[in-house]
């Protein structure tokens, strides 16, 4: 039997949440420690204070941990990914797990011509509602239509069996469960709606198995000056390697169309390389598997003998 009785009231007069003791003989206290951890403590028969509940309880309980327009994963070891139709604002930082910059749209919305659509994002804790509005009289279809009419609308969800929540800003603190949660309808440009449903499912599968950031092809293309010969620094059995810049210098291995290495072999190589991160190995930052493109993105290291990096120039001079 629970020691507390919890009550949530949400009506036109108030929105309140209360916690009352079922047994008034039980002593409890709520404390905030210096690190910001909130603890609900209860006095045990042993005379010690036991921790009943605490917050933050998961990595996603911290506000803005993944930045705007992103997903934070509650029940898995994965941290963050961009919402469908979005890409990291700072790809290099994102690859190094610096997520607070969040994500930006791949394609701008087109409210004027009314071509935008929606992609359902399932199993979510809905975004922060500071910039949201609620209308309990609207049906689902009315809610969808209202979002399309409002050029500032970024997404909507059902408030209940009958009711509408509309967001009109960057989407903060969208969280995802493995099971349960609510369905959120994300507004996207027409160019991204058709591909986002399938790509998001495939991307989720790839990220779960590889645990590496996915880079968008357009970003890598710009970083390497459209894969120009001037940026080409080598070639092997996989294909050509290009130098580029995404905030910091990177090296991009691009799978040659003539290569016999397919997607499954590439995924196996990525999974292995991700597990072999070491300070004496070139760091694998992420990959791109968009369309028929297959690329690996590494940190860039100038051409030198490996022992120069391991032991320093003094060692080479002694030799």
Written in H, E and C, the secondary structure of 272-319 is HHHHCCCCCCCCEEEEECCCCCCEEEEECCCCCCHHHHHHCHHHHHHC
Q: How far is CA 270 from the centre of its chain?
A: 19
**Residues 165, 141 within the same domain:** yes
Measured CA distances, 197 to 10, 185, 213, 267 (Å):
34, 12, 19, 21
Q: Is residue 24 part of a domain?
A: yes
On whether both 189 and 262 belong to a single domain, the answer is: no
CA 297 from centre of chain: 18
- Residue 56: cis peptide before it, omega within 30 degrees of 0: yes
Question: Which domain covers residue 13, as residue numbers?
Answer: 4-55
Question: Within this chain, do residues 154 and 76 fall inside the same structural domain, yes or no?
Answer: yes
Q: What span, in angstroms and rounded, lies between the C-alpha atoms of 117 and 190? A: 6
How many CB atoms neighbour CB 159 within 10 A?
A: 19
- Reduced to 3 states (helix: H, G, I; strand: E, B; else coil), residue 225 is coil
**Of 303, 290, 275, 267, nearest to 106 (Cα)?**
290
Contact 7, 21 (CB under 8 A): no
- Does residue 305 lie within any of the structural domains? no
Q: How many CB atoms lie within 10 A of CB 266?
A: 20
Count other Cβ atoms within 10 Å, centred on residue 25: 6
118 located within any domain? yes
Same domain, 26 and 155: no
Q: What is the pLDDT along the chain (319 residues), one digit of tens a residue?
A: 467 787 888 777 888 888 787 777 788 888 988 877 888 888 888 888 888 877 777 778 888 899 999 999 876 656 899 999 999 999 888 888 889 999 999 999 998 888 999 999 988 999 999 889 999 889 888 999 999 999 999 999 988 666 899 999 999 999 988 766 789 999 999 988 866 544 554 444 444 444 556 677 777 888 899 999 999 988 877 789 999 987 678 899 888 766 655 555 666 666 666 566 555 567 777 777 766 778 888 888 776 555 555 555 444 444 4
Of 29, 55, 81, which residue is a domain's last?
A: 55
Report if residue 78 sits inside a domain: yes
117 shares a domain with 245: no
Give CB contacts under 8 A, 24+ apart, made by 310-317. 310/280
Output the domain CATH number for residue 294.
Answer: 3.30.200.20
Closest C-alpha to 122, from 92, 95, 157:
157
CA atoms of 149 and 159, how far apart (whole Å): 19
For residues 142 and 280, what is the distance between their CA atoms, to the nearest angstrom? Answer: 58
Residue 222 is assigned to a structural domain of this protein: yes
C-alpha span between 203 and 197 (Å, rounded): 10
Say if residue 183 is in the same domain as residue 74: yes
Taking the C-alpha atoms of residue 94 and residue 81, their distance in angstroms, rounded to an integer, is: 9
- Per-residue pLDDT of 191-238, as tens digits, reads 888 665 445 544 444 444 445 566 777 778 888 999 999 999 888 777
Rounded Cα distance, 226 and 220, in Å? 8
Pair (161, 285) in one structural domain = no
Q: Based on the domain organization, do 66 and 134 belong to the same domain?
A: yes
Q: For the chain, what is the domain count?
A: 3
In a shared domain, residues 47 and 120 = no
- Within a 10 A sphere around the Cβ of 18, how many other Cβ atoms? 10
| DSSP state, residue 172 | -
User: Is there a domain that residue 84 lies in?
Assistant: yes
178, part of any domain = yes
Give the 3-state secondary structure of residue 70: strand
Tokens at residue 2, please? 């629970």
pLDDT in tens, 89-117: 998 888 888 899 999 999 999 988 889 99
What pLDDT, on the 0 to 100 scale, is given for residue 68?
97
Q: What is the dihedral of CA 77, 83, 84, 89, to 10 degrees?
A: -110
Say how far apart CA 73 and CA 81 lie, in whole Å. 8
Same domain, 105 and 182: yes
- Are 267 and 223 in a shared domain? yes
**Is residue 184 domain-shared with residue 65, that is, in the same domain?**
yes
315 occurs within a structural domain? no
């Amino acid at each position: 039997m629970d020691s507390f009785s919890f009550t949530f009231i949400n009506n036109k007069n108030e929105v309140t949440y209360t916690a009352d003791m079922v047994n008034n003989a039980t002593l409890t206290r709520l404390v905030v420690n210096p690190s910001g951890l909130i603890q609900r403590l209860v006095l045990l028969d042993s005379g010690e204070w036991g921790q009943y509940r605490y917050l933050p309880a998961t990595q996603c309980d911290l506000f803005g941990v993944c930045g705007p327009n992103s997903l934070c994963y509650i029940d898995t070891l994965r941290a963050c990914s961009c919402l469908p139709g979005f890409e990291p604002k700072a790809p290099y930082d994102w690859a190094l797990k610096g997520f607070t910059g969040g994500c930006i749209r791949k394609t701008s919305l087109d409210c004027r011509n009314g071509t935008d659509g929606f992609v359902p994002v399932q199993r979510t804790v809905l975004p922060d509602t500071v910039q949201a509005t609620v209308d309990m009289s609207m049906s689902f279809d009315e809610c969808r239509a209202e979002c399309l009419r409002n050029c500032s609308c970024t997404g909507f969800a059902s408030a209940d069996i009958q009711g509408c929540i509309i967001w009109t800003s960057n989407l903060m603190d969208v969280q995802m469960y493995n099971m349960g949660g609510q369905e959120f309808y994300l507004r996207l440009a027409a160019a991204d709606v058709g591909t986002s449903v399938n790509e998001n499912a495939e991307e989720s599968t790839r990220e779960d198995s590889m645990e590496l950031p996915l880079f968008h092809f357009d970003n890598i293309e710009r970083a390497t000056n459209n894969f120009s010969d001037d940026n080409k620094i080598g070639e092997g059995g996989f294909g050509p390697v290009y130098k580029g810049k995404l905030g910091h210098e990177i090296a991009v291995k691009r799978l040659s169309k003539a290569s016999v290495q397919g997607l499954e072999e590439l995924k196996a190589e990525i999974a292995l390389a991700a597990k072999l991160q070491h300070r004496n190995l070139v760091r694998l930052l992420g990959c791109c598997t968009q369309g028929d493109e297959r690329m690996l993105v590494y940190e860039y290291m100038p051409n030198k003998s490996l022992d120069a990096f391991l032991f320093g120039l003094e060692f080479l001079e002694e030799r």
